[in-house]
Structure 1
Amino acid sequence: MAAYHHTPLDRFIAGADKALRVISGVATASRANPAVHAADAEMSEAERRHAAGLMRVNHVGEVCAQALYNSQARFARTEQIREQFEHSSREEEDHLAWTAQRLGELNSHISVLNPLFYAGSYALGTVAALLGDPRSLGFVVETERQVEAHLESHLNKLPPQDAKSRAIVDQMRIDEIEHGAAAQRLGAAAMPLPVQKVMSAMGKVMTSTAYYV
């Protein structure tokens, strides 16, 4: 029997289905939650709200990551790079599921602005992809560099006793480093400094908003 090859329409339908699931907070992890063996911790109400705000920011970051990788995979010029984007997207979906689960454990919620964040990130990823694979990969490298720094800051900001949230964030950090390194190995072009600064400013707007809503 001949192998079935996905058409552009197939990819569009699959992408639309995934977008709806991501926006609504429905994600399935392919790996065990790294917090599964971490002990529950006693936290004050203020600490719980703070941890929830940080994890909501991380969840929104994963919504954006899904949009970026989905758009970049769709418009990648080569199958090798498309496959790398799809691989990274699958690992980012683990992060999406883990952060959503932790928000539920903290009696909190995902951001109501997820549709807006997804749409904006999809558009940004599309622009990056249409500039060609080297620049698209360079966009990944810079994004993951900024995300790594952001996750490092969360490890310092989370309540020290919140081992569950910290285990999730630390594994996310490890994965993001590898995603950036993989993009670099495939021939990423360096992002101009002004683009880096714009990306950083956009990230700050997202994080400061998602913490609350």
Structure 2
Amino acid sequence: MLSAARHLSSVDHVLVEVQRALETTLGDPPASRPCPARAEDPVLPKAERRHAAGLMRINHVGEVCAQGLYFGQAAVARDPATRQHLLEAAQEETDHLAWCAQRLRELDSRPSLFNPLWYAGSYAIGTLAGLRGDGWNLGFVVETERQVEAHLDEHLDTLPADDQRSREIIRVMKEDEARHADHAEAAGARILPQPIPQAMALASKFMKLVAYRL
């Protein structure tokens, strides 16, 4: 038995990141917390069920993107405290990912076909943000989470009235996202200059248009 943890080589680090990518996009990572959906699953009309599935697929893609962003940022974070903050946030995003996947199955639907692409793009953005320094790293967390909060509010407004299971999941997700943003601000996040937030919003809009159907 080794007396100390083995030092990870560059190849080990690459393999860890590849495993994370595969688990997020093609696997079924388990949640560390019980799913907050407690309401009965109603029999929704076909159009409403399809709409709810489209919204939950968008949310699932959002969590795939969050995983890519946070793991990319954590891979190059300079401060151990910042890295730990990012990995802890990523764990809660894994919970969201699992809950959304479960709800999609309940709605007889599936995740986005483009999840590997969403993850790769987000990982690249996270890595670039992290290379600018931890203040930028945390600034991306704040902006990402605030934008996610806004689109979750939209979903709460447009979900079928009887779909309380999806609403229960989204409400807990929204609380978690707000906490991630607050913690990042307290840890020294920089305010991102324009046009970065605008570009992020445009990318999010494109993702939502595609993920709603595919």
For the aligned pair, the TM-score class normalised by the smaller chain equals over 0.9
Which structure 2 residues correspond to residues 2-13 of structure 1 after superposition, within 5 A? 2-4=3-5, 6-7=7-8, 8-13=10-15
Shift of residue 5, structure 1, vs aligned partner = 5.3
Provide the C-alpha distance between the structure 2 equivalents of 1:177 and 1:112, rounded to a whole number of angstroms. Answer: 28
Provide the C-alpha distance between the structure 1 equivalents of 2:63 and 2:7, rounded to a whole number of angstroms. Answer: 26
Shift of residue 193, structure 1, vs aligned partner = 2.4
Which structure 2 residues correspond to residues 46-125 of structure 1 after superposition, within 5 A? 46-125=47-126
Q: 1:185 to 1:2 in 2, by over 3 A?
A: farther
SS of residue paired to 2:31: coil
SS of residue paired to 1:34: coil
Provide the C-alpha distance between the structure 1 equivalents of 2:141 and 2:6, rounded to a whole number of angstroms. Answer: 27
SS of residue paired to 1:170: helix
Q: Over aligned residue pairs, what C-alpha RMSD do you find?
A: 1.2
Shift of residue 25, structure 1, vs aligned partner = 4.3
* Alignment check: 8 A CA contact 1:141 1:188 kept: yes
SS of residue paired to 2:213: coil
Provide the C-alpha distance between the structure 2 equivalents of 1:6 and 1:95, rounded to a whole number of angstroms. Answer: 31
Equivalent position amino acid for 1:16 in 2: V
Provide the C-alpha distance between the structure 2 equivalents of 1:206 and 1:6, rounded to a whole number of angstroms. Answer: 38
The answer on 1:33 being equivalent to 2:35 is yes
Structure-2 residue corresponding to 1:207:
208
Shift of residue 205, structure 1, vs aligned partner = 0.2
Shift of residue 10, structure 1, vs aligned partner = 3.2
Provide the C-alpha distance between the structure 2 equivalents of 1:101 and 1:70, rounded to a whole number of angstroms. Answer: 23
Structure-2 residue corresponding to 1:18:
20
Moved more, 109-118 or 6-15: 6-15
Equivalent position amino acid for 1:123 in 2: A
Shift of residue 13, structure 1, vs aligned partner = 1.8
Provide the C-alpha distance between the structure 2 equivalents of 1:2 and 1:177, rounded to a whole number of angstroms. Answer: 40
Structure-2 residue corresponding to 1:127:
128
Provide the C-alpha distance between the structure 2 equivalents of 1:20 and 1:6, rounded to a whole number of angstroms. Answer: 23
Give ranges in structure 2 of 5+ residues lacking alignment. none
Indicate the percent of aligned positions where both proteins have the same amino acid.
50
Provide the C-alpha distance between the structure 1 equivalents of 2:149 and 2:14, rounded to a whole number of angstroms. Answer: 30
- Give structure 1 regions of 4+ aligned residues with deviation exceeding 4 angstroms: none
Provide the C-alpha distance between the structure 2 equivalents of 1:163 and 1:31, rounded to a whole number of angstroms. Answer: 19
* Alignment check: 8 A CA contact 1:25 1:110 kept: no
* Alignment check: 8 A CA contact 1:68 1:121 kept: yes
Residue correspondences, number: 212
Structure-2 residue corresponding to 1:169:
170
Provide the C-alpha distance between the structure 2 equivalents of 1:3 and 1:79, rounded to a whole number of angstroms. Answer: 19
Provide the C-alpha distance between the structure 2 equivalents of 1:6 and 1:134, rounded to a whole number of angstroms. Answer: 27
Provide the C-alpha distance between the structure 2 equivalents of 1:92 and 1:3, rounded to a whole number of angstroms. Answer: 30
SS of residue paired to 1:193: coil
Provide the C-alpha distance between the structure 1 equivalents of 2:193 and 2:149, rounded to a whole number of angstroms. Answer: 19
Shift of residue 12, structure 1, vs aligned partner = 2.5
Provide the C-alpha distance between the structure 2 equivalents of 1:143 and 1:13, rounded to a whole number of angstroms. Answer: 27
TM-score normalised by length of structure 2: 0.96
Give ranges in structure 1 of 5+ residues lacking alignment. none
Provide the C-alpha distance between the structure 1 equivalents of 2:97 and 2:118, rounded to a whole number of angstroms. Answer: 14
